[in-house]
Amino acid sequence: MTETNQIKLSINFYRKAVLALLFILLCRLVAMYFVPLMDTTESRYSEIAREMLRSHNWITLYHHYGTPFLAKPPLSTWLTAFSFQLFGLNALAARLPSLLLSLGLLGLIWSLAKKRNGQAVATITILFLSSCLYFYLNAGATMTDASLIFCTTLSMVSFWHSMSSHSKIWSYLFFVALGLGLLAKGPVATVLTAMPVFSWVLLRHQWKALWVNLPWITGSLITLAIALPWYILAEIRTPGFLNYFIIGEHFLRFYVPEWKGNMYGYSHAKPYGAIWIYGLIGLFPWSVAAGLWLLHHGKKLPSLLREEDQGWLLYLLLWAYLPLIFFTFSKNIIYTYAFSSLPAFALLFAELWKRTGITERNATSILYLTSFIGLSFLVATTVIALNPDKMAKSQKMVVSLWKKQNPPPHSKLIYWATRLEYSAQFYSDGKALSTRNLYYLAFLLASNPNSYLVINAPELPQIPPNLLAKFKQVAETRFLNCQLLLLYNQEKVELSGLGLWR
């Protein structure tokens, strides 16, 4: 099918579409630059990448200064570390790989939609997808999900091209994507691809075509060649990794409510079916638009679904809904689990809209909604940038005050806190520590003269007067509901003279 016998839109529309896409890209870049890395997710993955670059250990992921992080494979960390190598340690560099992967994903969806339905539908599909709330959020966030969605989308696009046009290149890319998916998020990437693919083959009776069009033996070897070496090396370096990652992160996490084995956080217990709420939120504003479309065209839906299309609509339905159905029966979920369905929903929305007839007028309304998402992020960025002490869950501001003091190389930034935030580790280049133990605090000060202490003002009485007297206050700032003081250790600390050991 070509665009000529489907839909024609004016050159003016395409110009406006390009401007809308450039506008939301610019808004995302502004947010990526001005919004600090947030705790816990963004700063944690940034800190893991910083440590990887520092240590040149490309196999084992580390967090909290030497503690192995076994919950994720390394692809996203590799990309972030490489970005740090090129552009330095900053928020924009940390987020850039996610943006580039998202742009690559949009390119894949564009090529698929254009080949199937022409330029008009492809343009509308990209407008839908690029402005979905979760996709737009993920496109500039330091998380592992951008690499996962790119890999699953590459798998799904490659499979369709392989089956419909018998392309050898796409058939091999299918297996390349599976291998990269194992490095991006693990076996869940294979599951998210296999469910819709094999369901489509089963329902369409395409088993012979499946065997003929995909090089299963060579392709499987390619997948293993990409992923298996790292898994073997990871288990050798950190024995027990495979058990924790495969069994714990891929089975117990999803099907054991309030799983106690989580080594790097806590269980996100949600009611069964919560994934559908996340899906609706993630598709905003198009979930609302889809609801309005159903009110207007709902009676036509059965006939629209019955149109002969070589299984295209069925493929999109399975791709969009099976991941949500899969996670319906898991209570331990987070909103990112809905991400893999977003490209399929964009293709599905555009396909159904095409079947009811896209006019210049309603196509133009898509441009306004697309721009609305970018404008909303721009407003949110402005609010955060103007009120970092109230809006930004990040220690960047505190660490910046410390760096303004020009601390000597051996100086430490010590937080009087039970837990050290990842953003403090990242922005301090690994010099931040935390403790609530007076003995350890005294030891750190004695071992690292001219260090600095960050403490919430109401907690000052917890520090003995004879130790507190060795500090002078050099800065003060508010952070959320805390009044944080930055104290400089101006006098040498002698452990024997503090009276802490009796």
| Other beta carbons within 10 Å of 280 | 15
Which among 73, 10, 76, 13 is positioned nearest to 49, based on CA atoms?
Answer: 76
Q: What stretch of H or E contains 472?
A: strand 471-479
Sign of the CA dihedral 165, 132, 139, 30?
positive
Determine phi and psi for 123, rounding to 5 degrees. Answer: -65, -45
List of domains in the chain: 17-385 (no CATH), 396-497 (3.40.190)
Query: What is residue 4's three-state secondary structure?
Result: coil
Q: Which two tokens stand for residue 64?
A: 């909290």
- Which parts of the chain have pLDDT scores under 50? 1-5, 502
In whole angstroms, what is the distance from residue 215 CA to residue 259 CA?
39
Alpha carbon of 13 to those of 119, 121, 355: distances in Å? 12, 12, 20
* pLDDT for position 299: 83
Q: Strand 452-456 and strand 413-416: pairing?
A: parallel
In whole angstroms, what is the distance from residue 467 CA to residue 456 CA?
16
In whole angstroms, what is the distance from residue 144 CA to residue 103 CA?
16
* pLDDT for position 333: 85
Alpha carbon of 57 to those of 51, 60, 74, 234, 435: distances in Å? 8, 6, 11, 11, 27
Cβ–Cβ < 8 Å for 93, 83: yes
Spatial CB neighbours of 44, under 8 Å, sequence gap ≥ 6: 63, 422
Query: What is residue 488's three-state secondary structure?
Result: strand
Alpha carbon of 23 to those of 17, 148, 371: distances in Å? 10, 26, 7
In whole angstroms, what is the distance from residue 111 CA to residue 27 CA?
25
* pLDDT for position 266: 60
Spatial CB neighbours of 120, under 8 Å, sequence gap ≥ 6: 3, 6, 7, 8, 9, 358, 363
Query: What is residue 290's three-state secondary structure?
Result: helix
* pLDDT for position 498: 60
What single-letter amino acid sits at 248?
G
Alpha carbon of 30 to those of 39, 42, 390: distances in Å? 19, 17, 20
Which among 123, 85, 126 is positioned nearest to 103, based on CA atoms?
Answer: 126
* pLDDT for position 3: 39
In whole angstroms, what is the distance from residue 128 CA to residue 23 CA?
15
According to DSSP H, which parts of 205-270 are helical?
A: 207-213, 216-237, 241-242, 253-255
Residue listed under structure tokens 């809905």: 338
Q: What is the DSSP letter of 90?
A: S
Alpha carbon of 223 to those of 175, 215, 217, 322, 445: distances in Å? 5, 11, 10, 23, 51
Cβ–Cβ < 8 Å for 80, 45: yes
In whole angstroms, what is the distance from residue 152 CA to residue 189 CA?
6
* pLDDT for position 497: 61
* pLDDT for position 57: 96
* pLDDT for position 2: 39
- Three-state secondary structure readout of 243-257: HHHHHHHHHHHHHCC
Question: In DSSP terms, which residues pair with 434 in a beta bridge?
Answer: 415
In whole angstroms, what is the distance from residue 65 CA to residue 44 CA?
12
Cβ–Cβ < 8 Å for 250, 326: no
In whole angstroms, what is the distance from residue 157 CA to residue 481 CA?
48
Structural Rg of the chain based on CA atoms? 26
* pLDDT for position 5: 44
| Other beta carbons within 10 Å of 41 | 18
